[in-house]
Structure 1
Amino acid sequence: MSDAFGIDFGTTNSVLARSTAGGVEAVPLDPDLPLEWADLEFDRVLPSVIGLDRGNPVFGWAAKRQRAGKLEAVKRLFATDDSVTIGDQELKVEVAAAMFFRHIQQQAAAAGIVSRLDRAVVTIPANSRGLARYRTKLSAGLAGMEVLALINEPTAAAMAFAHAIGQNQRVLVFDWGGGTLDVTVLQAFDGVFIEQASKGVQRLGGLDVDEAFAAAVLPRIAGSNGWTAEQHALFRLDLERAKIELSRETATRVPLPTGGYHPVTRAILEESIAALVKRTREPLETCLRESPGRIDHLVMVGGSSNMPVIRAFVADIVGVAPSDGVNPMLAIAQGAAIAAGILQGSVTDLDFHVGTEHALGTVVHNDSSPPDGEFSVLIRRNTKYPARATDSYVPAMDFQEKVNLQVIEGDPTKPIGHEDNVILKNWDVEMAGQRLKSDAAFTVTYEYDLDGILHVLVRDQRTGAVLSEQEVAVGAGEDRSQLPGMRRSVDSLMDGSGGQRKLSPEAQALVRKARDKVLPFVADDDRATLEKLIADLETATSAEDEPGRRAALEAELRNHAYLL
Structure 2
Amino acid sequence: MIVGIDLGTTNSLVAVWHEGAPRLVENALGQLLTPSVVGLDDDGQILVGQVARERLQTHPQLTTALFKRYMGSNHEIRLGSKVLRPEELSALVLRSLKEDVERAFGEPVSEAVISVPAYFSDAQRKATRVAGELAGLKVEKLVNEPTAAALAYGLHQKDETTILVFDLGGGTFDVSILELFEGVMEVRASAGDNFLGGEDFDDALAQYFLARQAGTEGFPDTSTPLLVQRLRREAQRVRHALGQQAEVDFCLREDGREWSQKITQDELQGALAPLIERLRAPIERALRDARLRAADLDEVLLVGGSTRMPLVRKMVAGLFGRIPSMHLNPDEVIAQGAAVQAALKARHAALEEVVLTDVCPYSLGIETSVTFGRQHEAGHYLPIIERNSVVPVSRVNTVQTLHDNQTQVLLRVFQGESRLVKDNIYLGELDIPVPPRKAGEVSLDVRFTYDINGLLEAQVSIPLTDETHSLVIENNPGVLTREQIAERLKALESLKIHPRDQQVNSILLARLERLYQECLGEARQYVGELAGQFQHVLDSQDEHRIREARAGVAQRLDELERQL
Q: Give the alignment's TM-score, normalised by structure 1.
A: 0.76
Choose from 3, 6, 9 the match for 1:8.
6
Corresponding residue for 2:516?
Answer: none
Name the aligned partner's letter for residue 193 of structure 1.
M
Query: Aligned pair in 2 of structure 1 residues 466, 145: CA closer, same or farther (>3 Å)?
Result: farther
5+ residue gaps, structure 2, are 501-564
Q: In 2, Cα distance between the equivalents of 1:229 and 1:158?
A: 39
Contact kept, 8 Å, 1:252 with 1:264, in 2: the verdict is yes
Matched, 1:363 2:367: yes
**Farther-moved stretch of structure 1 (438-447 vs 61-70):** 438-447
Match of 2:46 in 1: 57
The aligned amino acid for 2:220 is N
CA displacement, residues 95-153 of structure 1 (integer Å, 9 cap, x when unaligned): 232222222222322x3236332211112212222211111111111222111212221
Aligned to 2:287: 288
1:297 correspondence with 2:286:
no
Task: Pick the aligned partner of 1:237 from 233, 249, 252.
Answer: 233
Partner of 2:84: 91
Partner of 2:278: 279
Q: Distance in 1 between matches of 2:443 and 2:421?
A: 27
> How far apart, in 1, do the equivalents of 2:300 and 2:68 lie?
26
Cα offset, 1:335, TM superposition = 1.3
Once residues 219 and 149 of structure 1 are traced to their aligned partners in structure 2, the CA distance between those partners, rounded to angstroms, is: 46
What is the CA RMSD across the aligned residues, in angstroms? Answer: 3.1
Superposed, 1:443-522 pairs within 5 Å as: 443-458=445-460, 461=463, 467-475=469-477, 479-493=481-495, 495=496, 500=499
1:462-512 CA distance string (max 9 Å, x none):
67665333224533675443222122122223x4xx5559xxxxxxxxxxx
Q: Residue 218 and residue 16 in structure 1: after superposition, are their counterparts in 2 closer, same or farther (change >3 A)?
A: same
For the 8 Å contact 1:29–1:107, the answer to whether it is kept is: yes
Give the count of matched residue pairs. Answer: 480
Equivalent position SS for 2:23: strand
Post-superposition offset of 1:210: 0.7
Pick the aligned partner of 1:73 from 66, 73, 91.
66
Report the alpha carbon displacement of residue 30 of structure 1 after superposing the two structures with TM. 4.9
Instruction: Spell out the pairing of 1:57-206 with structure 2 (5 A cutoff).
Output: 57-66=46-55, 67=58, 68=60, 69-109=62-102, 111-113=103-105, 115-163=107-155, 166-206=158-198
| Equivalent residue number for residue 390 of structure 2 | 384
What is the CA–CA distance in structure 2 between the aligned matches of 1:105 and 1:462, rounded to whole Å? Answer: 55
Q: Distance in 2 between matches of 1:330 and 1:489?
A: 32
Matched ranges for 1:23-34 at <5 A: 23-31=21-29
Inter-CA distance 81–476: structure 2 relative to 1 (3 Å threshold): closer
- Kindly provide the amino acid, as one letter, of the partner of residue 52 in structure 2: A
Query: Alpha-carbon deviation of 1:155?
Result: 1.5
Question: Does 315-324 or 384-393 show the bigger shift?
Answer: 384-393
Q: Is the 8 A contact 1:407 1:472 kept in 2?
A: no
Distance 1:423 1:102, change over 3 A: same
CA-to-partner distance for each residue in 1:38-96, whole Å, 9 max, x for gaps?
xxxxx311111111112111111111111221111111012544322223322233223
Q: Distance in 2 between matches of 1:312 and 1:372?
A: 46
Assess, with a 3 A threshold, how the Cα gap between structure 1 residues 356 and 232 changes in structure 2: closer, same or farther: closer
Q: 1:297 deviation in Å? A: 0.6
Matched, 1:247 2:239: no
Change beyond 3 A, Cα 1:319–1:76:
same
Q: What aligned pairs does 1:312-461 form with structure 2 within 5 A after superposition?
A: 312-346=314-348, 347-365=351-369, 367-368=371-372, 371-397=377-403, 400=406, 402-411=408-417, 414-417=418-421, 419=423, 421-426=424-429, 428-431=430-433, 434=435, 436=437, 442-458=444-460, 461=463
For residues 486 and 402 of structure 1, the distance between their equivalents in structure 2, rounded to whole angstroms, comes to 39
Change (3 A) 1:379 1:87: same
> Matches of 2:202 and 2:28 in 1, distance apart?
23
Q: Decide which moves more: 309-318 or 333-342.
A: 333-342
Pick aligned residue for 1:22 from 14, 20, 23: 20
Q: Closer, same or farther in 2 for the Cα pair 1:147/1:367, shift >3 Å?
A: same
Contact 1:130 1:454 in 2 (8 A): no
One-letter identity of the residue aligned with 2:25: V
Cα distance in structure 2, aligned partners of 1:8 and 1:75: 12
Do the aligned partners of 1:17 and 1:334 also contact (CA within 8 Å) in 2? yes
Give CA deviations for 1:445-474 in whole Å, capped at 9, x if unaligned.
Answer: 433222333233445556766533322453
3-state DSSP of counterpart to 1:348 = coil
Q: 1:455 & 1:245 partners in 2: Cα distance?
A: 50
Deviations 1:219-267 (A, max 9, x none): 6688663687546534532442342343344455677656899665544
C-alpha spacing 1:6/1:155, structure 2 compared with 1 (3 Å): same
Does 2:32 correspond to 1:44?
Answer: yes
Helix, strand or coil for the counterpart of 1:474?
Answer: coil
Distance 1:207 1:417 in 2: 30
The aligned amino acid for 2:112 is A
Distance 2:153 2:105 in 1: 24
Distance 1:85 1:187, change over 3 A: same
Mapped to 2, the partners of 1:439 and 1:204 lie a distance apart of 48
2:195 counterpart SS class: coil
User: What's the % identity of the aligned pairs?
Assistant: 29
Q: SS of the counterpart of 1:355?
A: strand
Q: Is the 2:428–2:473 Cα contact (8 Å) retained in structure 1?
A: no
Alignment CA distance shift 1:64-1:418 (3 Å): same
Higher deviation after alignment, 335-344 or 241-250: 241-250
Preserved CA contact (<8 Å) 2:119 2:194: yes
Aligned to 1:354, the other structure's residue is in SS state strand
Aligned residue identity for 2:45: N
Indicate if the aligned counterparts of 1:409 and 1:423 stay in contact, CA closer than 8 A.
yes
Q: Would you say the 8 A contact 1:130–1:424 is kept in 2? A: no
